[in-house]
């Protein structure tokens, strides 16, 4: 098996416990992988400021993939390497059509969580994400530039109908994906975890066959497909399990630990790792790749 040099892991329902915490086992396994020279990062639909809290707890020193891949940013230096917002013309159309359906809407700009007004959904989401929601009034009047993402919150059957209606209309223009049963997300067409992972791997000169990606939901499919080793945790959606190269027997963070032990830590054993590019080289590669992606 090819040596794994980079690992990208989803946060919610994957790396985090059911109580939205990093367990001691997870911290130990991630620290062991990083100590062995493996590049470990978070790949999440969450806001950067929400994900950065966990990245700092894990002492992650490489850029994070956030907003489904719309923003790749380093939590230590604050340097933005990749930014792909949702074009305003499509954002305004999506907002109009989603509001018509009766769903709650979140919008994101400048790493701020924006709502038209506080609702039970906005209160629950703010509690879940650890970020306070800011009411700004009518989104169509408020937005004068591209938001990074639009999120609809409702019951799953309604979101499934909305997705089926909008995907054909915005094919190639907007990436539409369900991240949780009650979350339907709208972003730049290239704002996927797979595209962002390919970009980040290029920064470090790491090939896709040297990457392991771990997730649980539909928004993880692109990175699971891209990685040389795609892993689904035991609590993943069945459609995601079908596309994974390996499905763990354990759920949530314990599943991530299982994958790290099986494919990274045990595989490395006492083998001496070849050195990854130093900081200056990696930064130059990131800059070059970012310029190509603009």
Catalytic residue numbers, as ranges: 10
Burial class from Cβ neighbours inside 10 Å (0-12, 13-18, 19+) for residue 18 reads exposed
Cα atoms in the Cβ-side hemisphere of radius 13 Å centred on 91: 24
DSSP state, 159? Answer: H
Half-sphere exposure of 15 (CA within 13 A, CB side): 25
Residues in contact with 127: Cβ distance below 8 Å, sequence separation at least 6, in sequence order: none
Cβ density class 175-209: b for 16+ within 10 Å, e for less: bbbbbbebbbbbbbbebbbbbbbbbbbbbbebebe
Residue with tokens 């590019």: 277
């Amino acid at each position: 098996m090819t040596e794994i040099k980079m690992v990208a892991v989803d946060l919610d329902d994957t790396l985090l416990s059911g109580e939205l915490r990093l367990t001691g086992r997870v911290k130990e396994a991630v620290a062991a992988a990083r100590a062995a020279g493996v590049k470990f990062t978070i790949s999440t639909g969450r806001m950067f400021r929400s994900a950065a809290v966990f990245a700092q707890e894990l002492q992650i020193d490489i850029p994070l993939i956030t907003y489904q891949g719309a923003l790749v940013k380093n939590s230590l230096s604050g340097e933005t390497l990749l930014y792909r917002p949702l074009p305003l013309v499509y954002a305004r159309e999506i907002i109009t059509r989603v509001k018509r359906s009766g769903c709650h809407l979140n919008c994101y700009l400048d790493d701020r969580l924006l709502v038209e007004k506080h609702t039970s959904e906005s209160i629950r989401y703010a509690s879940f994400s650890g970020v306070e929601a800011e009411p700004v009034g009518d989104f169509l009047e408020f937005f004068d530039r591209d938001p990074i993402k639009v999120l609809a919150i409702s019951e799953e059957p309604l979101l499934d109908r909305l997705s089926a209606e909008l995907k054909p209309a915005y094919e190639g223009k907007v990436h539409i994906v369900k991240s949780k049963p009650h979350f339907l997300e709208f972003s730049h067409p290239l704002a996927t975890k797979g595209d962002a992972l390919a970009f980040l791997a290029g920064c470090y000169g790491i090939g896709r066959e040297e990457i392991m990606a771990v997730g649980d939901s539909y928004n993880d499919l692109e990175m699971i497909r891209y990685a040389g080793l795609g892993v689904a945790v035991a609590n993943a959606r069945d459609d995601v399990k079908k596309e994974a190269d390996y499905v763990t027997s354990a759920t949530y963070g314990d599943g991530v630990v299982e994958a790290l032990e099986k494919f990274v830590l045990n595989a490395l054993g006492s083998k001496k790792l070849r050195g990854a590019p130093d900081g200056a080289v990696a930064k130059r590669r990131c800059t070059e790749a970012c310029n190509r992606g603009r």
